[in-house]
Amino acid sequence: MASWRSVALKKKAEQEALIPKEWRLDPIPSSNDVSSIPETCGLLDANELEFTNSDIAVLLDKLAQGHWSSVSVTKAFSKRAIIAHQLTNCLTEIFIERALGRAAELDEYLKSTGNVRGPLHGLPVSLKDQINVEGLESCMGYISWIGQFAERNAVVADILEEAGAILFVKTNIPQTLMWPETFNHVFGRTSNPYNRSLTCGGSSGGEGTLVAMRGSPLGVGSDIGGSVRIPAAFCGTYGLRPSYGRAASTPSKVKIQYHPLAVRKRWSEDEYRLADHGEGKQLCFAILWDDGIITPHPPITRGLRMAKEALLRAASSFQVIDWKAHKHSEMYSTLSEIWASGAEEDYGTVAAPTGEPVIASMSLENQIALEGGFDHNSIPRSAYQLWQLHRKKRDLREEHLQVWEDTVKITGTGRPVDAIISPVAPYAAVGHGNNKSANYTAVWNLLDYTALVIPVAQVDSKLDSVNLPQLFHSHIDRRVSELLNAGNQHLVDNPEDFENAPISLQVIGRTLEEEAVIGMGEILDTALKVIKVETK
């Protein structure tokens, strides 16, 4: 049997061979900030830049009108994705030939029938590595899964293709998926496009990076503890974590139940127009400034203040109050214990056949387990003990919902708080190996609340002066504070190293309240754009 290293090297070489010679960067730039290189490298012509810089709404309109062909749009995004990949190592499977073939079919279909194939006609869409596409591997960075080719599409891939989307690349993830960074033994490490010495987050880190570099207009990930939201926040893109079962929700024209786990609930325009929130006239937002586990760094707090200011300026009827964290520590540890209850047996089962080691840290000095932080210490439990953890989780959910309901007494709107605004992480993107907590995202998973990530600003060392607190919640809180200090060899060297890293926030709504969360997210996003224009 070949060693696991040689199997991984072979797979990586096969991937490398799929990069067309004419799309290669030569030399590959060595700068930390590579976010603008797709624009400046000269490989994309003016049309390709226009396509790839366009909003999805513009793309869909131009594609549907036949003004832009799907072949040319797909080719432009493919080229930009390949450029992004050479700079950040964001891709896993590359299947551009096949995508261009399908794009040509859709162009022909539109030409001959005058109709679009579906609401996403001709739009390239990227997928996180674990989403199966017929005939391709989904090795998820496990050596032992290399060479397993999917017999059929995942349901979400089917839905996208039936809606007219063009699947063209899959994107990188961490081994086990259970890290908020992106590194594995097959594809290696993905870096943050704004600063390659920083992590792009994870587990959907390849998606975050690719979409941030406009190598894809839309990507699909997964999020059981923050895996869509953390990369979205660290890379400055929008990202939605729907409630359990809502991922496959589809427009009303499409069959609503492709998968047994999909909730039979159509998109509701009423809910999007905030019918359950007084038609959006008198909204009361509540800001979570600190979850009591890790105090946010100054840039994040500035982002929260900007959101507050923007909303208060947006409408005199809007209120912004403080949200008091309720049992975040207990919620986070309960979810972590559920994950840990079968983790060792799970990882071991996958890694053992090839001898591939289970990764113990995301730091550059890979394999060194650092103390504290994101808990990968497996605590094997019995099925009965797992049931008790789920029971505890249910009790915490009941309790938190009651706390939220009880805010009806203080809002004055006749409703409880309409949405919570929260950090996504206690910091903007940090150095590789330093993102070891998912406390600001995982609690909303435990609660199964809908969460939307919105980019707010970028780190600015002039504005974000370092005010280390004098008191810490814990030694982990102190450690995170010290990420802003120079001199720790495992950490970034200077506060200035965060410069330009995106600052993002989450808008949190109730379970299965995707429509209203998007509606309120748009209100916040617009309000923020207004104050940015005003303060320029």
Stretch that binds a second copy, among 94-102, 117-125, 163-171, 260-268 (CB under 8 A): 260-268
The three-class DSSP label of residue 320 is strand
Q: How far is the CB of 173 from a second copy (least distance, A)?
A: 19
Q: Which phi and psi (to 5°) does residue 301 adopt?
A: -65, -40
Match 């290189």 to its residue by tokens. Answer: 37
Tell me which H or E stretch contains 299: helix 298-314
Q: Is 252 in the site for a second copy (CB under 8 A)?
A: no
Match 């410069």 to its residue by tokens. Answer: 499
- Rounded Cα distance, 289 and 324, in Å: 8
Q: Is 132 in the site for a second copy (CB under 8 A)?
A: no
**Cβ proximity of 239 and 203 under 8 Å:** no
Q: Is 431 annotated as a binding residue?
A: no
Q: For the chain, give the number of residues.
A: 536
Q: Is 119 in the site for a second copy (CB under 8 A)?
A: no
The beta strands (E) that lie in 172-230 are given as: 183-184, 188-189, 191-192, 195-199, 219-220
Among 512, 523, 527, 528, binds a second copy (CB under 8 A): 512
Closest CA to 224 of 238, 245, 249, 198: 245
Stretch that binds a second copy, among 43-51, 385-393, 476-484, 528-536 (CB under 8 A): 385-393
Q: Is 13 in the site for a second copy (CB under 8 A)?
A: no
Q: What is the b/e burial string over 484-521, where b = at least 16 CB atoms within 10 angstroms of the residue's CB? A: beeeeeebbeebebbbbbbbbbbbbbbbbbbbbbbbbb
Nearer to a second copy, 98 or 397 (CB): 397
Nearer to a second copy, 101 or 353 (CB): 353
Closest CA to 386 of 348, 447, 337: 337
Interface mask toward a second copy for 424-463; x: CB under 8 A: -----------------------xx---------------
Q: Is 292 in the site for a second copy (CB under 8 A)?
A: no
Q: Is 135 annotated as a binding residue?
A: no
Given 204, 216, 227, 481, which residue is catalytic? 227
Give me the amino acid identity at 536: K
Q: Is 278 annotated as a binding residue?
A: no
Q: Is 454 annotated as a binding residue?
A: no
In a 13 Å sphere around the CA of 527, the CA atoms on its Cβ side amount to 22
203 an active-site residue?
yes
Among 28, 56, 261, 463, binds a second copy (CB under 8 A): 261
Stretch that binds a second copy, among 191-199, 397-405, 425-433, 474-482 (CB under 8 A): 397-405
- Rounded Cα distance, 515 and 268, in Å: 7
Stretch that binds a second copy, among 116-124, 390-398, 469-477, 521-529 (CB under 8 A): 390-398
Among 9, 150, 370, 401, binds a second copy (CB under 8 A): 401
**Cβ proximity of 283 and 319 under 8 Å:** yes
Q: Is 510 in the site for a second copy (CB under 8 A)?
A: yes
Q: Is 227 annotated as a binding residue?
A: yes
Maximum separation of any 2 CA atoms in the chain, in Å = 70
Q: Is 252 annotated as a binding residue?
A: no
Sign of CA dihedral 291, 330, 407, 228: positive
Q: Is 15 in the site for a second copy (CB under 8 A)?
A: no
Q: Is 253 in the site for a second copy (CB under 8 A)?
A: no
317 an active-site residue?
no
227 an active-site residue?
yes
Interface mask toward a second copy for 203-242; x: CB under 8 A: ----------------------------------------
Given 69, 203, 243, 437, which residue is catalytic? 203
Q: How far is the CB of 260 from a second copy (least distance, A)?
A: 4
Q: Taking the CB of residue 352, how many other CB atoms lie within 10 A of it? A: 11
407: which 2 tokens? 């805010």
Among 31, 65, 148, 257, binds a second copy (CB under 8 A): 257
Cis ω for the linkage preceding 380 (within 30 of 0)? no
Stretch that binds a second copy, among 113-121, 129-137, 286-294, 336-344 (CB under 8 A): 336-344
Interface mask toward a second copy for 344-373; x: CB under 8 A: xxx--x------------------------
Cis ω for the linkage preceding 465 (within 30 of 0)? no
Closest CA to 143 of 2, 346, 18, 14: 2
Closest CA to 124 of 195, 73, 182, 63: 73
Q: Is 42 in the site for a second copy (CB under 8 A)?
A: no
Catalytic positions are 128, 203, 227
Residues that bind a second copy (CB under 8 A): 257, 259-261, 263-265, 341-342, 344-346, 349, 380-387, 394, 397-398, 400-401, 447-448, 510-513
